[in-house]
Amino acid sequence: MEHFSTHVVHNAPICERYHVMKLGWPPRFAPPLPGQFLTIQPPPGTGALLRRPFAVSDYDPLLSQIEIVYERRGSVTRHLAACRTGERLDILAPLGRPFPEPTGNARPVLLAGGIGMGPMFFLATSLLTRNKNPVLILGARDSTLIPELPLFERIDIIIATDDGSRGLHGTSIDALHSFETDGNDMNTEYFACGPMPMLRALALHADQTARKCWVSIEQTMGCAVGACMGCVIPVHGGNGYARVCTEGPIFDSREIAWT
């Protein structure tokens, strides 16, 4: 875990409302892993207090850069969208537990819902590099929220939109079902990040089909280092709660007490 000031190397929109930002990552730091996140201190003038968490969406050891994909939502992300190359940001990273390795020779099926795509891109790239043959299912509300990325040329990808304006008409879960009924119903393991209803549906499906399923969970954070107990979610076992910032954000879907 490092606390440092770094500079923006690249910052640009990739589709409606979503942007990508690359930041300098000092080479002496340990590399971030897929599933881990960072926090950014709200820059002066945003009127915001708490650091904002974002999943790492890529890491380039050669250029010493990390990347995030973020959605313009409120004061801090609007400020980020206007950041120019060279501007400095205060970063805490890498935080949280990464995605585990796929078990045995299971084929990794990666599900991304909306802005949950960031960590799935990182995992996809890392699995491709290691010849793990991942499938990426990307669900969005409509075609304006689907970026065009070089990664998509290299990976088996299925796109689904709620309104059918691009790819399959339906949710990422619908896309998963059609992928599986197309004869891909074999030895797979799920990795996912997206809205809670999507993760809940996936966890249920994983339970019914006895597959392993790893989900990335979001929760409002205070410290992001395990000190404040502010970011918990209900889990089975222990005292009934786990901290998303340290025990997560990646959880085995069976650990979570879905409500």
Partner 1 sequence: MDLTVRIGDVTVSNPVGVASGTFGYGSEYEQLIDLKSIGALFTKAVTWEPRPGNRIPRIIETTSGLLNSIGLANVGREGFAKEKYPFLSGLSCSTFVNVAGNTEDDYARTVEWLDEHAPLTGYELNVSCPNVKEGGLSIGGSPRMVEVVTRRVRAVTDKPVIVKLTPNVTDITEIARAAEAAGADALSAMNTLVGMVIDVDACRSVLPGKTGGLSGPAVLPVGVAIVYRVSRAVSIPVIGIGGIDGPDSALQYLLAGASALQIGTANFVDPTVTDRVLEGIRSFLSHHNLTAAGEIAGLLDR
Ligand X SMILES: Cc1cc2nc3c(=O)[nH]c(=O)nc-3n(C[C@H](O)[C@H](O)[C@H](O)COP(=O)(O)OP(=O)(O)OC[C@H]3O[C@@H](n4cnc5c(N)ncnc54)[C@H](O)[C@@H]3O)c2cc1C
Ligand Y SMILES: Cc1cc2nc3c(=O)[nH]c(=O)nc-3n(C[C@H](O)[C@H](O)[C@H](O)COP(=O)(O)O)c2cc1C
Among 35, 117, 243, 250, binds ligand FES (CB under 6 A): 243
Q: What angle do CA 136, 25, 123 make, to 5 degrees?
A: 15
Among 20, 55, 146, 198, binds ligand X (CB under 6 A): 55
Q: Which two tokens stand for residue 186?
A: 């074999």
Binding to partner 1, residues 209-248 (CB under 8 A): 219-234, 239-241
Q: How far is the CB of 242 from ligand Y (least distance, A)?
A: 17
Structure token pair of residue 226: 């395990």
Q: Which two tokens stand for residue 39?
A: 């926090």
Asked whether 22 and 6 are in contact (CB, 8 A), the reply is no
In the shown chain, the binding pattern of residues 56 to 95 toward partner 1, with x for contact by CB under 8 A and - for none, equals ----------------------------------x-x---
Nearer to ligand X, 9 or 221 (CB): 221
How deeply is 40 buried, as exposed, middle or buried, from its count of CB atoms within 10 A (0-12, 13-18, 19+)?
buried
Residue from the set 76, 111, 137, 138 that interacts with ligand X by CB under 6 A: 76
* Contact in structure between 79 and 89 (CB atoms under 8 Å): no
Whole-angstrom Cα distance, residue 54 to residue 85? 19
Per-residue binding letters, 14-43, with partner 1 (x by CB under 8 A): ---------------------------xx-
Of the CA atoms within 13 Å of residue 130, those in its CB half-sphere come to 11
Closer residue to ligand X, CB minimum distance, 70 or 179: 70
- Tell me which residue of 121, 124, 87 sits closest to 102, measured CA to CA: 124
**Residues 219 to 248 in contact with ligand X, rule: CB under 6 A:** 219-221
* CA-based torsion, 225, 55, 193, 81: positive or negative: positive
Q: How far is the CB of 74 from ligand Y (least distance, A)?
A: 21
Which residues make up the interface to ligand FES (CB under 6 A)? 221-224, 226-231, 243, 245
Which residues make up the interface to ligand X (CB under 6 A)? 37, 48, 52-55, 68-71, 73-77, 115, 118, 218-221, 249
